[in-house]
Amino acid sequence: MTISVRLPPEEQHMLEVLARRVGRSKSDLMRQAVRELCQRLAADNRTPYSLGQDLFGTGSLAPAPSDPMKRQIWEKLRAKHRRMG
């Protein structure tokens, strides 16, 4: 199967330089890159939750603010959301 890929000039230059340095064709390097990427992505079965799991808190609620004005707003929001759900 033939597939055409357009590369930006800097990536095309990098591919040409690497192909000359290792003595392989550009097509050969592209096939290897696609193969390795597909294998890596197929083996990566992590979910968005598992990727961020270590960043999640323990689920504790924030303490009430000490500032009287902020506390009044906080209490009104708590009362509003308590009624909704």
For Cα atoms 15, 5, 25, give the angle at the middle one, nearest 5 degrees: 40
Higher pLDDT, 80 or 21: 21
Q: What is the pLDDT of residues 16-66, one digit of tens each?
A: 999 999 999 999 999 999 999 999 888 888 888 888 888 876 666 778 889
Residue 45 has what pLDDT? Answer: 83
pLDDT of residue 19: 97
Rounded CA gap, 11 and 85, in Å? 53
pLDDT tens column, 59-75: 667 788 899 999 999 88
Q: Domain-by-domain residue ranges, the chain?
A: 9-46
Closest CA to 34 of 55, 75, 3: 3
Report how far residue 35's alpha carbon sits from residue 29's, in angstroms, rounded to the nearest whole number: 10
Q: Vertex 19, ends 10 and 13: CA angle to 5°?
A: 15
